[in-house]
Structure 1
Amino acid sequence: MHSRSDDPVAAALEHAAALIADDVRTLAAANPVVLIDGCSGAGKTSLAQRLLGRWPVVGRVQLIALDSIYPGWDGLDAGVERAEEWILRPHGRGLLGTWRRWDWEQGTEAESHAVDPALGVIIEGSGSLTPTTARLADVRVWVEAPDHSRKSRALRRDGETYRPHWDRWAAQERRHVERDAPRALATRIVEIP
């Protein structure tokens, strides 16, 4: 086991989480919205978890992973549309939002989860940063990492479940990057080795 100082990925994630926490603190908002986008294996989930631990606003923050919302392996765009409709728009209007978890094993929607508009929200997932969602978020993060590092991390994390779907998911991510230019929409760009 490496100490954090020996692990350049962990060190980069810690540094990025501290910077994003400062971005959130600067907003002086009671219920900020943070979007964390990047291709699979870039470090979005790890970054979101670290930000959760450093959340600078009084009260808890609601962390929502788009992996819980995408409707299957061909559902990147549909998952982002659901996050916009079910979470971001209601939250922005001060209304209670409700999202439905996708049951990957059953291939259908499962239980509902409420989103309190009085609390901050972190949404992390591929495709989350689009021109439309950018208008509904206070802090917009693009996480970038080399392709070989991303694939290695993603397959180590999700193993054989993900391997047969890597190429079709990557094609959806490429379409998102080409169409939505998420890096240009970001208020903070994070580079992970």
Structure 2
Amino acid sequence: MHDLAGRLRGLPPSLGPVRLVGVDGHAGSGKSTFAGHLAAALGGAPVLHLDDIASHDELFSWTGRLTSQVIEPLGRGERARYAPYDWNLRAFGPPRDLPPAPVILVEGVGAGRRALRPHLASLLWMELPARESWARGRRRDGAAQREFWDGWTAAERAHFADDPSRPHADLLVRATPEGYGIVPGPASPL
């Protein structure tokens, strides 16, 4: 993990002074957990969770909000400010600040979408098949979210059919018993 952290720190900035790194994959594939480990290896790098940007009404049509609240300010070297969504209350909460940092991780389904790729220093894809990821997500979220998951899987399929991220990934990440296996992705220059 520390090798990957050093490699990411060595990339040129992609968004103002920031190296924005996308961590994408199917829902339930382990993106949040991996991003947390990577953030720690980066010395506490900020992590923007796309679950805070998306909402029940905008599962995938949140690009405008992300652009105006996060991408544009960070691109100017300014502090971003966004209102995180509460999935239980179904409402946006009080705004949070996201200051520019050498590396910021943006994790979530759609982190590698075509509208974000020009702003990314690197794109990492969690290499776990959709069905296995979704089964993990359903177990994690329990019976209370069963109805949501039924709609989610159809929405995610449609999203990736229209705007696939994996073909643009620099690195593929797979959880292993020893930690994480990381190999060059389809878009890797290696």
Tell me if both proteins adopt one fold, taking TM over 0.5 as the criterion.
Answer: yes
Which structure has more helix as a fraction of its residues?
1
Report SS of the residue matched to 1:157.
helix
Paired AA for residue 90 in structure 1: P
Q: Give how far 1:28 is off.
A: 5.8
Paired AA for residue 125 in structure 2: W
Structure-to-structure mapping, 1:56-135, within 5 angstroms? 60-72=44-56, 74-135=57-118
Residue aligning to 2:185: none
Residue aligning to 1:185: 168
Report SS of the residue matched to 1:163.
helix
- 1:52 correspondence with 2:23: no
Q: What is the CA–CA distance in structure 2 between the aligned matches of 1:37 and 1:19, rounded to whole Å?
A: 20
Q: What is the CA–CA distance in structure 2 between the aligned matches of 1:79 and 1:180, rounded to whole Å?
A: 14
Q: C-alpha root-mean-square deviation of aligned residues, in Å?
A: 2.2
* 8 A contact 1:33–1:137 mirrored in 2: yes
How many matched pairs? 173
Q: Give how far 1:192 is off.
A: 4.5
Q: What is the CA–CA distance in structure 2 between the aligned matches of 1:165 and 1:23, rounded to whole Å?
A: 38
Residue aligning to 1:43: 30
Q: What is the CA–CA distance in structure 2 between the aligned matches of 1:124 and 1:138, rounded to whole Å?
A: 14
Report SS of the residue matched to 2:125.
strand
Runs of 4+ in 1 over 6 A off after TM superposition: none
Task: Provide Cα deviations, 1:33-84, integer angstroms capped at 9, x if missing partner.
Answer: 111111111110111011012116xxx4211111122122x42213344223
